[in-house]
């Protein structure tokens, strides 16, 4: 990662017969090393050369050797914040993730997938959507396992605070909630983490210890991006402490809305301890996720963690506040109108500027990939079709006023392949929805795993395609975070919830959805039964079949027998949960991104059916590898 190849790219032009203007053609060596080069073209009577970035890229993204050899892997995909343990602080953290990795590895799983763990808003913890981050290059500080921070074992002040009766009662209460209480989690963690930074200052920074030098190296590598993130978080916190309605930089005092203003530069100069504290917390988060990935590989997983890259950043966050022209702030991305959504969707995320990307040698895209491909074995790219085109909506307009803007997809796929190979990080592309024909073969040729959601893989007659017919270069899954759980789908809990919160305009549409669901359930039973994967105890008439353990296992094992090289399953379905973690199209109508798992990890892996199912999944994947 980050190699610099020194030397010259030389080419001899024998005769330049062009008149005024025209294309100058010349040759380059055909054995250039993969990576980033500077190409300079010298001309007589010109003092400085013409210069451009020359990128030499591989043809395809990285795949783990075991995947290349045809082995089939499985693992769960989790929303990290939903994990419950007896020792976390009311939210799943990197310590819980490490415990989950150990449990999955011991049962034959090869990966654990995550929601985006991008930086959100420490000053406004209720802004909890992982898909509307403040920055995609830095991490969510609430995922820090406080007990695992090295300074905690040395800090008597932190230990005394956490050990107090009042604090322990608060921890017990926040762990016991069904929904993540982000404000309380943040209050507890942010009352202790600053004490650990003070300990670090006194014990390490003051003595320039090896740990202090490691921190300095992290800060130097983070450069302006880390400085901007930490400065934003420190400034936002200071303003929010005075006025809790300050939700983003758009409502900062006018003089603080431009990172290059004298006022902001003065703030940075005069608030170094606070800024350095946020840098320290980013370093701690980075250390902890790196430790989890190292541990996963040590446990024998062939992939370890797979991370998720959100499609954009919130317009109120650090990246937009510090933007240097990389983003188009006068537009937002979204989805065009369709039959199900006649008004389209506006996601409130400013897009990357394709012209600026090319002009800067794709530096912003490269840095984004590098930040998200570290400490993991694979990266899932949300809405991977955005490498080809995005639906741009002018600021202040509805999605119906938008249009597709195209990106230099060949260049971006080449860079993606290069960074993938450098980081030994496989790539999974979330390619759901309307997929343009021109990108299907491009993604396949680039070695990007397609994303196959069982419930969407249907034929024109309503029947379900066999997972045995999925392309091997894919990840298969039953459900996603934007869908109801397996039990919720089968019992139509999502439709009932939608009716309760007013998602459907009239009863006729709702009745049609219930009828369609009934047909889908019967088609699923027919397909799974025809392929011999439906347990004998499960009836064949969907009107009388509940989603019980036997049916749930049958569906998951049906998928496990398929040809996809990767199989991702939801922990919610192992626990027969029915409440969704996210309901698309809602903001305040439903508490999205907050619903925890119903039991702790210890209790889940003490469940006989979970242990039976994971053993069967491992066996089914091994059998599929041989076929």
Query: Taking the CB of residue 476, how many other CB atoms lie within 10 A of it?
Result: 26
* Region of residue 108 (phi > 0: left; psi between -120 and 50: alpha; otherwise: beta): left
To which residue do tokens 């040395």 refer? Answer: 154
Q: Report the interhelical angle of 193-200 vs 210-242 (nearest 10°).
A: 140
Containing 55, the helix (H) or strand (E) segment is strand 50-56
| CB neighbour list of residue 75: distance below 8 Å, 6 or more residues apart | 104, 109, 110, 111, 112, 113, 301, 303, 306, 566, 567, 568, 569
CA-based nearest residue to 407, from 336, 356, 368? 356
Q: Is 144 exposed, middle or buried (0-12, 13-18, 19+ CB in 10 A)?
A: buried
pLDDT, block means (10 residues), the chain with 627 residues: 48 56 74 89 79 93 98 98 98 99 99 99 97 98 99 98 99 98 99 99 98 99 98 99 96 98 98 99 99 99 98 98 96 85 87 96 98 99 96 94 97 98 98 88 98 95 95 97 97 96 90 96 97 96 98 98 98 98 92 98 98 99 96
In the β-sheet with 403-406, what is the strand arrangement from edge to edge? 345-349, 331-335, 389-394, 403-406
Look at residue 10 in the predicted model and tell me its pLDDT.
52
Decide: helix, strand or coil at residue 331: strand
Strand (E) positions, 488-595?
A: 566-570
CA-to-CA separations, 547 to 232, 241, 541, 552, 553, in angstroms, rounded: 47, 48, 12, 6, 10
Computed on alpha carbons and rounded to an integer, the radius of gyration of the chain in Å comes to: 26
Q: How many residues does the chain have?
A: 627
CA-to-CA separations, 237 to 126, 323, 519, in angstroms, rounded: 14, 20, 52
Look at residue 16 in the predicted model and tell me its pLDDT.
57
Measured distance CA(535)–CA(554) in Å, rounded? 6
pTM of the model: 0.95
Q: What is the dihedral of CA 184, 188, 193, 198, to 10 degrees?
A: 130
Q: For the stretch 99-112, what's the b/e string if a residue is b when 16 or more beta carbons lie within 10 angstroms of its beta carbon?
A: bbbebbbebbbbbb
DSSP-assigned letter for residue 449: B
Q: Is 432 exposed, middle or buried (0-12, 13-18, 19+ CB in 10 A)?
A: middle
Measured distance CA(463)–CA(260) in Å, rounded? 58
Interior angle at CA 230, CA 376 and CA 94, nearest 5: 35
In the β-sheet with 111-114, what is the strand arrangement from edge to edge? 426-429, 378-381, 304-309, 111-114, 73-78, 566-570, 474-477, 450-453
Measured distance CA(131)–CA(351) in Å, rounded? 14
* Contact present, 462 and 519 (Cβ < 8 Å): yes
CA-to-CA separations, 164 to 38, 157, 233, 374, 479, in angstroms, rounded: 59, 11, 29, 38, 42
Measured distance CA(412)–CA(362) in Å, rounded? 8
Look at residue 6 in the predicted model and tell me its pLDDT.
45
Instruction: Find residue 536's DSSP bridge partners.
Output: none
Look at residue 7 in the predicted model and tell me its pLDDT.
47
Interior angle at CA 156, CA 155 and CA 160, nearest 5: 125
> Strands 389-394 and 403-406, how do they pair?
antiparallel
Measured distance CA(15)–CA(33) in Å, rounded? 28
């Amino acid at each position: 990662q980050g190699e610099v190849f020194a030397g010259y790219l030389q080419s001899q032009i024998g005769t330049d017969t062009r008149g005024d203007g025209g294309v100058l053609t010349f040759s380059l060596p055909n054995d250039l090393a993969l990576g980033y080069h500077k190409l300079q073209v010298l001309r007589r009577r010109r003092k400085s050369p013409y210069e451009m970035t020359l990128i030499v890229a591989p043809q395809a993204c990285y795949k783990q050797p075991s995947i290349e050899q045809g082995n089939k892997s499985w693992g769960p995909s989790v929303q990290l914040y939903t994990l419950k343990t007896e020792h976390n602080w009311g939210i799943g953290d990197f310590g819980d993730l490490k415990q989950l990795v150990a449990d999955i590895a011991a049962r034959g799983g090869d990966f654990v997938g995550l929601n985006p763990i991008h930086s959100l808003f420490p000053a406004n913890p209720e802004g909890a959507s992982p898909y509307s981050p403040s920055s995609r290059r830095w991490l969510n500080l609430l995922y820090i396992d406080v007990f695992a921070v090295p300074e905690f074992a040395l800090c008597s002040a932190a230990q005394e605070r956490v050990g107090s009766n009042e604090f322990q009662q608060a921890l017990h209460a926040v762990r016991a909630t069904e929904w993540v209480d982000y404000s309380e989690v943040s209050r507890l963690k942010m009352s202790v983490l600053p004490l650990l930074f003070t300990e670090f200052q006194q014990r390490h920074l003051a003595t320039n210890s090896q740990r202090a030098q490691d921190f300095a190296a992290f800060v130097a590598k983070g450069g302006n991006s880390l400085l901007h993130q930490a400065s934003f978080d420190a400034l936002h916190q200071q303003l929010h402490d005075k006025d809790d309605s300050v939700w983003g930089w758009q409502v900062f005092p006018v003089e603080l809305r431009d990172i290059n203003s004298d006022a902001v530069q003065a703030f940075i100069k005069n608030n170094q301890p606070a800024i350095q504290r946020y840098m320290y917390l980013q370093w701690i988060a980075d250390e902890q996720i790196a430790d989890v990935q190292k541990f996963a590989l040590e446990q024998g997983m062939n992939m370890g963690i797979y991370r998720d890259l959100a499609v954009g950043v919130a317009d109120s966050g650090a990246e937009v506040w510090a933007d240097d022209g990389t983003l188009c702030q006068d537009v937002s991305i979204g989805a065009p109108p369709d039959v199900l959504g006649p008004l389209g969707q506006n996601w409130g995320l400013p897009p990357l500027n394709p012209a600026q990307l090319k002009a800067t040698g794709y530096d912003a895209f490269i840095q984004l990939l590098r930040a998200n491909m570290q400490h993991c074995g694979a990266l899932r790219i949300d809405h991977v079709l955005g490498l080809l085109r995005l639906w741009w909506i002018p600021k202040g307009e509805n999605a119906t006023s938008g249009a597709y803007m195209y990106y230099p997809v060949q260049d971006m796929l080449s860079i993606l392949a290069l960074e993938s190979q450098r980081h030994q990080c496989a790539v999974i592309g979330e390619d759901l929805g309307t997929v343009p024909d021109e990108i299907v073969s491009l993604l396949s040729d680039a070695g990007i795993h397609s994303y196959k959601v069982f419930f969407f893989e249907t034929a024109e007659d309503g029947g379900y395609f066999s997972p045995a017919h999925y392309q091997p270069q894919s990840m298969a899954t039953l459900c996603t975070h934007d869908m109801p759980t397996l039990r919720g789908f089968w019992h139509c809990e999502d439709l009932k919830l939608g009716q309760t919160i007013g998602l459907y305009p009239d009863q006729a549409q709702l009745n049609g959805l219930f009828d369609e669901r009934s047909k889908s359930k019967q088609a699923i039973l027919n397909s799974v039964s025809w392929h011999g994967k439906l347990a004998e105890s499960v009836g064949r008439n969907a009107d009388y079949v509940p989603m019980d353990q036997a049916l749930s296992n049958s569906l998951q094992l049906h998928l496990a027998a398929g040809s996809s090289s990767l199989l991702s399953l939801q922990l919610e379905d192992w626990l027969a949960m029915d409440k969704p973690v996210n309901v698309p199209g809602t903001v305040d109508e439903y508490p999205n991104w907050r619903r925890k798992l119903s039991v702790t990890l210890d209790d889940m892996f003490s469940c006989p059916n979970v242990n039976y199912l994971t053993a069967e999944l491992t066996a089914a994947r091994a059998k599929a590898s041989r076929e």
